[in-house]
Amino acid sequence: MGQGGEPRRVRAHDGELGAAVARAQEGDETAFAVAYRLVQPGLLGYLRGLVGDDAEDVASDAWLEISRDLGRFKGDGAGFRGWSATIARHRALDHLRRQKVRPRSSALEQDVLELPGPHSTHDQALESISTERALDLVGGLPRDQAEAVLLRVVVGLDAPTAARVLGKRPGAVRTAAYRGLKRLAKQLGVASVTDDGPRTLGESK
């Protein structure tokens, strides 16, 4: 799949993102614009999976909160990506409560069993599905799987950071992402989505 590998491209910018956030915290508006440019596409994709066509409005609310609370943030580029995803998720859930609807991805909320499995397999699977394809298909997944796939594939978070966003254990998020990707692969008619070895990142930190 030629368009796979978004998480690697996303994470490649985390050094630049961390530097921009540090400058923005000192009042550099241009640096804040750089941070916005690096984070917004993934954030918008994640929100699109949660709230559909209202994603841009929810993202605007999230960025207002991000800019207001920026001085309280402590961490690097990857940490900022996770922190901003947490804020966006809270705004999305607030929006859905106001709308009295469930997230588009599904009505199913359930605890995910923490099954053991080779982490590299999960990462290979994540790397081999493109952002665009994931967004097309993720609407049919149970909510826990959909959010795990969106945070890992579209936002580019590692499992521990995605787990913090969702308030779950990293193993549960890995399992949810793995199950979601297996289901997506089945929809795509692919026997396995784990054969694309060169794109593997391995576990992040």
The mean pLDDT of 66-94, rounded to a whole number, is 95
The mean pLDDT of 14-30, rounded to a whole number, is 94
pLDDT computed for residue 108 by the predictor:
31
The mean pLDDT of 100-112, rounded to a whole number, is 43
User: What is the full DSSP assignment across 126-137?
Assistant: HHTS-HHHHHHH
The mean pLDDT of 24-45, rounded to a whole number, is 94
Top pLDDT among 125 and 3 is at: 125
The mean pLDDT of 13-24, rounded to a whole number, is 93
Query: Is 60 exceeded by the pLDDT of residue 144?
Result: yes
Top pLDDT among 83 and 49 is at: 83
Length, in residues, of the chain: 205
The CA distance from 120 to 182, in Å, is 15
Query: Is 80 exceeded by the pLDDT of residue 193?
Result: no
Rounded (to 5) percent helix, strand, coil in the chain: 70, 0, 30
pLDDT computed for residue 100 by the predictor:
74
Top pLDDT among 145 and 114 is at: 145
> pTM here?
0.70
Query: Is 80 exceeded by the pLDDT of residue 178?
Result: yes
pLDDT computed for residue 7 by the predictor:
56
Query: Is 50 exceeded by the pLDDT of residue 5?
Result: no
The CA distance from 57 to 60, in Å, is 5
